[in-house]
Amino acid sequence: MYPISVAIDGPAGAGKSTVAKMVAKRLQFLYVDTGAMYRAVAYLCLRHRVDAEDAVAVEHLLNTHDVVFAEGTDGGIRVSVDGLEVTKALRDPDVSSRVSAVAAHPQVRTRLTEWQRAFARDHSVVMDGRDIGTVVLPHATVKVFLTADVRERARRRQSEYQGRGFEVPFEDIVRAVEERDRRDCERAVAPLVAADDAHRIDSTSKSIEAVVNEILQLVENAH
């Protein structure tokens, strides 16, 4: 049987990763967090003090360091940089503030897109990101575009940061989320946009469980 793929795209903080992880667990598919892959490149820039806007320097970093994405033991992917497991550090605000810049470089996108497609060739996947339904897996079995009101998304980000010991003022988070949305939507290559055949779900006033069930139903109906 061919692998099944569920593509979940949407802006920062819409709940993609929480929902995608739960859908993957229920279906026993691999969860591929493509944001973590772009974050790994931003982390590499931060660690080696390379300007994330500098396409040539970022490509050189990727060519000279060992960045590995592999199937983890928890149903998702594990990210290692130069032999070190970095999955947790990828969510730090310093990484978040650089990630849209590295994600705008076409060479970075080409490389990570190949990696993402390889995961979907070998496994049934739930993959979340910005361009999964439009570029990475245009023939995905089910495509979802998940959104939520910007202040609700900022509120979710703030509680995620608090849970991890970072105290960031709410209005700063709203601004950071809006800035990341703007950059992701306006970039020339693979901008954040809903695929024509994506099911749009607004999670602002829906529970996580309701969104998960809605997606499971779409998968059920698709085959």
Provide the binding-site residues for ligand C5P, judged by CB under 6 A: 12, 34-35, 38-39, 99-100, 103, 129-132, 180, 184
Half-sphere exposure at residue 124, Cβ-oriented, CA atoms within 13 angstroms = 14
Closest contact distance (angstroms) between CB of 62 and ligand C5P is 15
Q: Which is nearer to ligand C5P, 146 or 219 (CB)?
A: 146
- Give the Cα separation of 19 and 212 in Å (integer): 6
Q: Which is nearer to ligand C5P, 34 or 203 (CB)?
A: 34
11 is in an annotated binding site: yes
- Could you tell me the two tokens for 218? 């779409």
133 is in an annotated binding site: no
97 is in an annotated binding site: no
Closest contact distance (angstroms) between CB of 205 and ligand C5P is 22
88 is in an annotated binding site: no
Instruction: Give all strands (DSSP E) within 104-158, no chain letters.
Output: 125-129, 142-147
Q: Which is nearer to ligand C5P, 4 or 176 (CB)?
A: 176
C-alpha distances out from residue 107 to 38, 114, 132, 191, Å: 12, 11, 17, 15
Beta strands at 84-85 and 125-129: parallel, antiparallel or unpaired? unpaired
Q: Which is nearer to ligand C5P, 7 or 27 (CB)?
A: 7
Q: For residue 160, give the nearest of 13, 35, 9 by alpha carbon.
A: 13
195 is in an annotated binding site: no
Binding-site residue numbers for ATP are 10-18
Q: Please give the annotated binding residues, written as ranges.
A: 10-18
